[in-house]
Amino acid sequence: MNQMDKKTTPLSGIGVLFSIFAAYYAMHCVEMVYFVYGNVLESYGFNPQATGIALGSFFIAIMLSRPVGGWVIENLGIRRSMIFGGVLALVGCSALVFTQNLYVICAGRVMGGLAFGIFTMGVFSYQSLVTTPKNRGRVIALTATGGVLPTATVTPFGEWLLRGGHTTPYLAIGPLFSALCLLLGIKTPKINAARDSDIRAWGSYRDLLRHKPFIMLTATSTMMALADASVSSISLFSADYGIPASYFMISFSVGALLTRSLGSQIINSLPRPFFLAPFGMLMAATLAIVSVIPSRASFIICGSLFGVGIGGGFPTMLASLIDVLPAELRPKGMATALFMFDMGWSATPIIVGYMTPHLGRGRSFLTLALIVFAVLTGLMIFYWLPRMLSELRIEN
């Protein structure tokens, strides 16, 4: 196993924060500009099921890309994985500008999803190299603000363009930020995925599946993903009530940004991973409330609280994965956990799309939220709480 390239070293201090933040922001812009893409698809004449499949195909591709991303990190390195992701994103997003064919749209969305998964695996791996257990929660919380800032920038800007009938300029946003991802990948220092000279071989998936805390952490984060992915269909839900989706999206991003920036030290000090389930429960509860009481006020209030949930939840998940896994299992562990997280994202728009004709969008969102809340409550009561109490007794 090669050690870190002696000719290049990771950036330090503010340079680390900015480089990771920029990478988060650029690729999440590629993702979140399409949170109002469902409106474009419906304007093309697609039914809810076809729209759900087109939206969900992006997240299915992310899910499938995770094992590939783990292999790329182990064998080709961080920089090449990010460059490859940038190229895929540019090609996939560009295809959406020129077509109204469902098959080509799905192909473009699949390429974009593969790009997102591989590129972000590179970013996550880089993060694991430049953080320590002492500062990991704080650094990940701060840099992960780049993952939610697009909901306050490109998502409402895209919605504003669509409401004004400017579909082509809206569709051009994806390729623009894809090109930025490619540039960031090219500028990334050449760093191998391992820095410990003690690592002689990567761990196996068999070793990973024997790691119970990892399994339960993955199950918890997957349920959180089901709630998190609801934002991909929120514009369709809000349109039924004549409420701009931006009321929820901007509030959500502000809540997440404040949580990850002003609350970064609090997130860093929380006992990981025990607070992951409560963060997900908060997200599910706010979705249930906004489904029952859809209004501008509820969109703003619940969107803000939803942002607090994912603002604390996602950094907690990433930091917890690095905490609980030994270095030789991290690429496969990150790939597997994010594979399952993306499975939740893939399932939500498809589930909502198929439930909507029978229950309506409001009840579909409510049903999904209640299921997520119930499962996370069970995980908290029967696994995480007893484990936390057990560790406290050992420490005392």
In a domain, 6, yes or no: no
Range of the structural domain that residue 344 is part of: 14-194+204-395
Residues 6+ apart with CB under 8 A from 337: 214, 217, 218, 221, 317, 321
In a domain, 8, yes or no: no
In a domain, 3, yes or no: no
- What is the percentage of the chain residues whose pLDDT exceeds 70? 93
The CATH number for 50's domain is: 1.20.1250.20
Residue-wise burial string across 65-85, b where 16 or more C-beta atoms lie within 10 A, e elsewhere: bbbbbbbbbbeebbbbbbbbb
CA gap 273, 279 in Å, rounded:
11
Residues 6+ apart with CB under 8 A from 204: 332
Q: Give pLDDT tens digits for 61-115.
A: 887 888 777 777 777 778 888 899 999 999 999 999 988 899 999 999 999 999 9
In a domain, 1, yes or no: no
Domain count for the chain: 1
CA nearest 362: which of 293, 269, 286, 270? 293
Band (pLDDT 50/70/90 cuts) for residue 10 is very low
In a domain, 4, yes or no: no
Band (pLDDT 50/70/90 cuts) for residue 215 is very high
In a domain, 229, yes or no: yes
In a domain, 60, yes or no: yes
Q: Mean of the pLDDT values across residues 252-266?
A: 85
Q: Cα angle vertex 53, ends 49, 34, to 5°?
A: 110
Model pTM score: 0.71
Residue 193 clears pLDDT 60, i.e. is over it: no
Q: Give pLDDT tens digits for 195-207.
A: 444 445 778 888 8
In a domain, 7, yes or no: no
Residue 288 clears pLDDT 60, i.e. is over it: yes
CB atoms within 10 A of CB 305: 18
